[in-house]
Amino acid sequence: MMIANLVGPSGLRVLILEQLPSLIDYPRGVGMDDECLRVFQSAGLVEKAIPFTFPNQWLDFRTARGRTFAMVKPKGEAFGFPKRNAFIQPLIDRVLLEGLVRYKNVEMRLGYEMTGLSDNGRAVHVTARAIDGEERRFTTSYLVGCDGGRSLTRKLVGIPFEGQTESTRWLVIDIKNDPIGVPSAILVCDPSRPYVTIALPHGIRRLEFMVKPNETEEELCSTEGLKRILSIAMPDPASARIIRSRVYTHHARLAKAFRAGRVLLAGDAAHLMPVWQGQGYNSGIRDANNLSWKLISVLRDGCDPTLLDTYETERREHARAMISLSTLVGRIFSPTSWLLASFRDVVFGILNRIPPVRDYVVQMRFKPMPKYTEGVVVGGVSSGRTRNAVGRLFVQPRVALRNGSVVRLDDAIGYRFAIVAWAADPCIYMNGEARRVWSRLNGTTVVVRSQTELMSDTNDVDPETVLVGDVSGGLKEWFATEDTSVAILRPDRFVAAVCRPQEISRAINALGRAMRMQSEKGVPYCTNADNNCANVG
């Protein structure tokens, strides 16, 4: 649904087939990160999503005796939002569903189960069974299989799902009118029965208990079973108002490829991870953020379909890193051996006394951030000192507009390519070829100056250039640290290139090549150094 919400404004036709008659209402995702909220912002849905989240939730790891041995409470909003947010997945999924009605070109068919597909190299033919049993056929340029961990799409195109499924199961319970109330997410690392207790928005409490090998789902989810297990976490389980309960198994699996011809995989269909880092949903949204603008570029803007190969190049390794981290955290959190648990408690006790190590955990620096070295990134253009910024997510401070309002930076850009430049408008240095590429990319230019300069009458920028004031100094800090003054951003807000103003043509032409743009005559742009292209990657 996020892909459809991002592609919707392009006018391309999107059809979603969902086998169920309504969206899933199981207890699932509860932790949403800043990157994910930023994608909701790109889709124009963040204000609708925020009421179903609560920001800056602490994550408190406790020993069996209740002593905190690690704490995660990150500060700052570098990407425009708090780093850890509690959320309720079915409510946020509803926001995505409701977002689709904005687009006449997007159609959601509930109660349609995809049963088969064939890719003949020019199109994908899909068969689906409607809820009334009728069989329907659809033809599409590209099919994105977002059909969950058991993905039929993945199986039909023969992509192996490598990794493992853990033997441990977890009972997940959501309760209304929170009987515990503490606003944190607490992981009680008790080897006899590890469990998690998480405060969710709207007074809901999430509890997750490790299931013992001799316990059955039927027994645990019975009224007596639920009362017995809830008594571990609360004094009066009989009065708990249970919304839902369900038993899950944890998987750590990664699809061997994210693309086979005209079929792509996204979300749990491409990667499954244990829930310990709360990254399954977030990773699926990252996939959508990476893939949507590439689909638009290929289908609407005439980029070569090989551009879609960069989706796998850019996303797969990061998904692997998230799976590894989630698996590691699970091992730390849930050993069932007292010996290992005691060893862990001692080690963390020592590490906590070393401020840089403690800070590494508290500020969540262990979270792998995407960094693309291949794909739609252009290195080697800038004569500045550092090229560290290329392939990373750009910061998102608030900026002032000339009408006096203050907005998040991305809102001043829109969902498109952007040149964000400090002080000077680099477009005056652009040669004809670069101008053509930039116009084909439908790019915009944002010039940033200090807020003090914004209201002066000497702001001589091109009328089409957006001039913004750097309210917090965050953009000045970014450009000064990176020793550059121009950042070229992709629609997903990753830095495609950095340069100085007079290097803009080289950077844009190289970007055209990285985008596999075809010229009007069908010849790729910038095939050699004469065309001022820099190396890609």
- Cα gap 70→386, rounded to integer Å: 34
* Sequence-separated (6 or more) residues with CB below 8 Å from residue 203: 176, 177, 178
SS3 sequence of 319-378: HHHHHHHHHHHHHHHCCCCHHHHHHHHHHHHHHCCCHHHHHHHHCCCCCCCCCCCCCCCC
Residue 29 or 74: the one with the smaller Cβ distance to ligand FAD is 29
Residue 258 touching ligand FAD (CB under 6 A): no
Query: Cβ distance 310 to 295 under 8 Å?
Result: no
> Least Å distance between CB 521 and ligand FAD?
40
> Least Å distance between CB 281 and ligand FAD?
3
- Cα gap 81→482, rounded to integer Å: 22
From 8, 82, 274, 280, residue interacting with ligand FAD (rule: CB under 6 A) = 280
Residue 152 touching ligand FAD (CB under 6 A): yes
> Least Å distance between CB 23 and ligand FAD?
7
Residue 92 or 389: the one with the smaller Cβ distance to ligand FAD is 92
> Least Å distance between CB 66 and ligand FAD?
23
Q: DSSP assignment of 5-33, as one string?
A: HHHGGGT--EEEEESSSS---SS---EEE
Q: Which H or E run includes 513?
A: helix 504-514
x-marked contacts with ligand FAD along 153-172 as a string, rule CB under 6 A: -------------------x
Four-residue CA torsion sign, 467, 468, 473, 477:
negative
Residue 174 touching ligand FAD (CB under 6 A): no
Query: Cβ distance 398 to 409 under 8 Å?
Result: yes
> Least Å distance between CB 381 and ligand FAD?
35
Cα atoms found within 13 Å of the Cα of residue 48, Cβ hemisphere only: 17
Give, in degrees to the nearest 5, the angle at Cα 286 between 257 and 8: 100
Candidates 29-37, 49-57, 74-82, 212-220: pick the segment binding ligand FAD (CB under 6 A). 29-37
Residue 112 or 479: the one with the smaller Cβ distance to ligand FAD is 112
Query: Cβ distance 169 to 188 under 8 Å?
Result: no
Size of the site for ligand FAD (CB under 6 A): 28
Q: Which of residues 282-311 bind ligand FAD (CB under 6 A)?
A: 282, 284
Residue 267 touching ligand FAD (CB under 6 A): yes
Taking residue 390's Cβ as centre, other Cβ atoms within 10 Å add up to 25
> Least Å distance between CB 284 and ligand FAD?
4
Residue 28 touching ligand FAD (CB under 6 A): yes
> Least Å distance between CB 93 and ligand FAD?
8
From 4, 5, 29, 186, residue interacting with ligand FAD (rule: CB under 6 A) = 29
Of 204, 160, 158, nearest to 185 (Cα)?
A: 204
Query: Cβ distance 320 to 254 under 8 Å?
Result: yes
Q: Which of residues 109-148 bind ligand FAD (CB under 6 A)?
A: 113-114, 146-148
| Chain centroid to CA 231 | 36
Residue 29 or 443: the one with the smaller Cβ distance to ligand FAD is 29
x-marked contacts with ligand FAD along 79-108 as a string, rule CB under 6 A: ----------x-------------------
Residue number of the CB closest to ligand FAD reads: 267
**Pair of tokens at residue 512:** 């055209």
Of 427, 395, 400, nearest to 493 (Cα)?
A: 395
Candidates 16-24, 308-316, 318-326, 393-401: pick the segment binding ligand FAD (CB under 6 A). 16-24
> Least Å distance between CB 267 and ligand FAD?
2
Candidates 17-25, 310-318, 387-395, 397-405: pick the segment binding ligand FAD (CB under 6 A). 17-25
Q: Which of residues 444-463 bind ligand FAD (CB under 6 A)?
A: none
From 17, 199, 418, 511, residue interacting with ligand FAD (rule: CB under 6 A) = 17
Residue 37 or 381: the one with the smaller Cβ distance to ligand FAD is 37
Taking residue 139's Cβ as centre, other Cβ atoms within 10 Å add up to 10
**Pair of tokens at residue 109:** 């068919």
Residue 147 or 433: the one with the smaller Cβ distance to ligand FAD is 147
Candidates 21-29, 94-102, 312-320, 348-356: pick the segment binding ligand FAD (CB under 6 A). 21-29
User: If you search the block for the tokens 């003090």, which residue do you land on?
Assistant: 452
Helix (H, G, I), strand (E, B) or coil at 435: helix
> Least Å distance between CB 24 and ligand FAD?
5
Identify the bridge partners of residue 136 per DSSP, sorted by sequence position.
128
Give, in degrees to the nearest 5, the angle at Cα 261 between 255 and 264: 45
> Least Å distance between CB 197 and ligand FAD?
13
Residue 24 or 347: the one with the smaller Cβ distance to ligand FAD is 24
Residues that bind ligand FAD (CB under 6 A): 17-20, 24, 27-31, 89, 113-114, 146-148, 152, 172, 248, 267-268, 275, 278-282, 284
